[in-house]
Structure 1
Amino acid sequence: MVRVKHRYLLLNILYPEPEQYPWKASLPDTIQFHHPSPDDLTPQLLARAIKDQISILYGDYGAGLTNNGLNIKYLSPATSTAIIRCSRDNYRLVWAALTYMTQLPKSSRFAQARSCVMQVVRVSGTIKKSEEEAIRRAKNAILKAKKDAAGSATEGLNAILDQFGPDVDLEVLRQKRSKPIATLEDEDDDDLEMMSGSD
């Protein structure tokens, strides 16, 4: 008996067009591209969209090869990440179909199709390796978003310092800030020294 072998494709769904909210324009690009998917995106809807794209690209031949083995094992709308299981022999057909997908399908007749980019970031022989890669990428995305946010805070600080003129030396400001503040006890000691020195 021959064991059927599978491949697991780790997929990121990116949204290149910014949303219509004005407050989202100030967010870093990494957050805008990796924002959450709509809540109505389900594994069944995504699988149907992939199968439709395969049949558009490869016709009945491609649909027949990939229909039985294609399965969405994991879909997270919060992180816009999915893991797709397909047969080892035909995973390139699925990958090509994902590359040519340009929009998410409509979930109802009132919803609009949403433009997106499907990015396959890992092909693996086991689902465990795909999960580990998804966790690693999520951690890196959080760190990068924090770094971008800190960079924008530094830009804000530079804008404030520009009010004082171009000759402001940041090192001088840091040294002034790091000097200890004189306490009342220090001032009393100085007064005593001045009194004893005047006698």
Structure 2
Amino acid sequence: MVRFKNRWLLVEFLPPSSTNTNSPPPELTGKHIYAALRQSVISHFGDVGWGAVGASLNVKYFSPTTALCIIRVAREPYRIAWGALTLLASIDGWTCIPNVIHVSGTIKHAQLAAIEHNRIVVARYRARAHTTAGYKDSYTDYLEQSTQELQSLRD
């Protein structure tokens, strides 16, 4: 039996300005990201690019709180998907800058990188709010919830 080999892209969608801390709209979902990525692949790499990427492209996880996303794509054409992500300008009208944080061969390593990245982002939010490290806030609940969601992902 032949195994289908994937690449997992961990992507953070940043607002265009560092002073603008707008998170993505709450109605933004993985389907919107998939549609925007599909359109980016088609417009920049044509039908051949979409033919290479389309069968394996899948958005496995998206968090509207931290704008973090895990995308699965086949191993051979993953650079096409990465290029299309880099050239993506907006998702469903929301202007963003995609930042590929991590690329891995297994979902487990993508999960671990996402959990670590969530902790870093929440630490930044807490630093901006000038809260102490032991302070319990909604971010604590979010970290627990997102960690459980990420660990429950399966290939």
Q: Structure 1: which 5+ runs fail to align?
A: 19-28, 106-112, 151-199
Question: What whole-Å deviation, never above 9, does each CA across 1:149-173 have from its counterpart, x for those lacking one?
Answer: 44xxxxxxxxxxxxxxxxxxxxxxx
Higher strand share: 2
Identity across the alignment (%): 35
Query: Distance between the aligned counterparts of 1:78 and 1:145, measured in 2?
Result: 11
SS in 2 for 1:40: coil
Give the greater-gyration-radius structure (CA).
1
Structure 2 alignment gaps of length 5 or more: 131-155
Which is bigger in relative contact order (C-alpha 8 A, separation at least 6)? 2
- C-alpha contact (below 8 Å) 1:7/1:85 kept by paired residues: yes
How many Å separate the matches in 2 of 1:149 and 1:78? 16
- Tell me the matched-pair count: 131
Aligned counterparts of 1:15 and 1:85: Cα–Cα separation in 2: 23
Give yes or no for contact 1:10–1:122 (8 Å, CA) kept in 2: yes
TM-score, with structure 2 as normaliser: 0.77
What residue in structure 2 maps to residue 81 of structure 1?
A: 68
The answer as to 2:111 corresponding to 1:131 is yes
| Alpha-carbon distance between aligned partners in 1 of 2:45 and 2:29, rounded to the nearest angstrom | 24
In 2, are the aligned partners of 1:17 and 1:115 still within 8 Å (CA)? no
RMSD: 1.9
1:141 aligned partner: 121
Shift of 1:6: 0.4
Which position in structure 2 is the counterpart of 1:117?
Answer: 97
Could you tell me how far apart the structure 1 residues matched to 2:46 and 2:23 are? 32
User: 1:148 Cα shift?
Assistant: 4.1
Higher helix share: 1
TM-score by length of 1: 0.61
User: Which residue of structure 2 aligns with residue 13 of structure 1?
Assistant: 13
- Name the structure 2 match of 1:55: 42
Q: Contact between 2:24 and 2:94, CA under 8 Å: does it hold in 1?
A: no
Match of 1:74, SS? strand
Any conservation in 1 of the 2:9–2:70 contact (CA below 8 Å)? yes
Q: What is the match of residue 70 of structure 1?
A: 57
